[in-house]
């Protein structure tokens, strides 16, 4: 899916205070490269290389420079720049947009946007927004909970008790990220970030109870908007789990949006407090991230003992 100027404008209307100055009909122009560019060199007449696939940002420096040029030269430079097929242009600091620029942008069908932000802030936050808009994402059938700083997504067939387990975790003081459907997104650092779908955020469906509003019942601390995904816990019926890893020595993982995420297969059955087991699993995963693998360490110690006894 390609990013259009409209996507950028709509997402940045609030967060970047973007306003549309010209080119409402051109908002479907595609932004081929999700990045920003300050076209100082291009405006100075160097057109051999222009980062023309990016959204162009005109700050105080560029505008002051344009102002210093004679009218004819200004027109010529701007025309040369616009001939490079730029997707959109943003003027920062709420500066008045020069008339020639408006005319030329209309002629080239390039939308012009404006923001009150200073250029540096706009470039920083605008870059993050563009990254967010274009980062790979997917919807996953799973309930996500922040368990003591470890992001856990619960999976399993319908009716196995994902939401009930999540509710028990919330009751124990952990925070719900998303119930039933989780949006997963890979950020620029290579982390998978989980969040809820807007319309159902903060809500949960519990069989027999219906839909509940989690923060009203458990307080605002019971919700978390975004959480890094650290592990997937897959709930299975005990009888279908002959093959479960009993030692924890064969850790499993799954590729999610190109990132390998640890997966724990958990049998659900009578006498097993799943929320408690998940709490411990999250802590154990944390311990592994810190470099301690209890199962591996015990096994290594055991093998040492066994070898000593064997050679005696």
Partner 1 sequence: MTRGNPTETGATAASRTFTVTNKYGIHARPAALFVKTCSQFQSEILVEKDGAVVSGKSIMGLLTLEGHHGAQLRISANGPDAAEAMEALGTIFENKFYED
Question: Using CB under 8 A as the criterion, which residues of the chain lie in contact with partner 1 when the complex forms?
Answer: 242-243, 245-247, 249, 295, 298-299, 302-303, 305-307, 309-310
**Alpha carbon distance 119, 95 (integer Å):** 11
Contact 162, 155 (CB under 8 A): yes
Backbone angles phi, psi at 21, to 5 degrees: -95, -45
**Alpha carbon distance 90, 23 (integer Å):** 12
Q: Cβ of residue 267: shortest distance to partner 1, in angstroms?
A: 12
Cβ proximity to partner 1: between 199 and 250 the closer is 250
Cβ proximity to partner 1: between 154 and 264 the closer is 264
Q: How many CA atoms lie within 13 A of 1 on its CB side?
A: 9
Cβ proximity to partner 1: between 103 and 303 the closer is 303
Q: Cβ of residue 202: shortest distance to partner 1, in angstroms?
A: 42
Helix axes 71-82, 60-68, angle to 10 degrees: 130
Helix locations, the chain, DSSP H: 5-15, 40-43, 60-68, 71-82, 99-107, 119-134, 162-171, 214-218, 274-289, 294-311
Cβ proximity to partner 1: between 250 and 290 the closer is 250
Q: Cβ of residue 309: shortest distance to partner 1, in angstroms?
A: 4
Q: Cβ of residue 265: shortest distance to partner 1, in angstroms?
A: 14
38 Cβ contact list (under 8 Å, min separation 6): 56, 57, 58, 59, 61, 62, 119, 123
Cβ proximity to partner 1: between 44 and 307 the closer is 307
Using DSSP bridges, classify how beta strands 259-268 and 175-178 pair: parallel, antiparallel or unpaired: unpaired
Q: Cβ of residue 87: shortest distance to partner 1, in angstroms?
A: 57
Q: Torsion angle of alpha carbons 50, 55, 60, 61, nearest 10°?
A: -10
Q: Cβ of residue 311: shortest distance to partner 1, in angstroms?
A: 8
Cβ proximity to partner 1: between 148 and 277 the closer is 277
């Amino acid at each position: 899916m390609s990013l259009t100027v409209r996507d950028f404008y709509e997402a940045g209307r609030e967060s970047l205070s973007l306003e549309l100055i010209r080119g409402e009909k051109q908002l479907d122009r595609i932004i081929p490269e999700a990045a920003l560019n300050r076209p100082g060199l291009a405006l100075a007449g160097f057109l051999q290389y222009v980062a023309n696939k990016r959204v162009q940002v005109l700050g105080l420096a560029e505008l002051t420079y344009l102002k210093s040029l004679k009218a004819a030269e200004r027109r010529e430079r701007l025309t040369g720049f616009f001939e490079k097929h730029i997707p959109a242009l943003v003027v920062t600091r709420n500066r008045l947009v020069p008339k020639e620029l408006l005319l030329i942008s209309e002629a080239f069908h390039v939308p012009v946007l404006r923001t009150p932000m200073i250029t540096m802030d706009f470039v920083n936050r605008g870059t993050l927004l563009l990254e967010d808009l274009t980062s790979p994402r997917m919807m996953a059938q799973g309930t996500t909970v922040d368990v003591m700083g470890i992001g856990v997504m619960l999976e399993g067939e319908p009716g196995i008790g994902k939401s009930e387990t999540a509710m028990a975790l919330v009751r124990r003081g952990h925070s719900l990220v998303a119930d039933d459907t989780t949006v997963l997104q890979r950020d620029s650092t290579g982390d998978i970030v989980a969040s809820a779908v807007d319309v159902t955020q903060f809500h949960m469906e519990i069989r027999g109870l219906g839909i509940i509003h989690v923060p009203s019942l458990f307080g605002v601390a019971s919700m978390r908007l975004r959480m890094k995904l650290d592990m997937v816990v897959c709930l299975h019926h005990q009888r279908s789990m002959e093959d479960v890893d009993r030692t924890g020595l064969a850790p499993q993982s799954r590729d999610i949006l190109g990132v390998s995420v640890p997966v724990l297969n958990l049998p659900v059955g009578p006498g097993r407090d799943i929320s408690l087991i998940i709490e411990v699993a999250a802590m154990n995963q944390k311990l592994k991230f810190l470099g301690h693998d209890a199962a591996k360490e015990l096994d290594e110690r055991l093998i040492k003992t066994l070898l000593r006894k064997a050679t005696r």
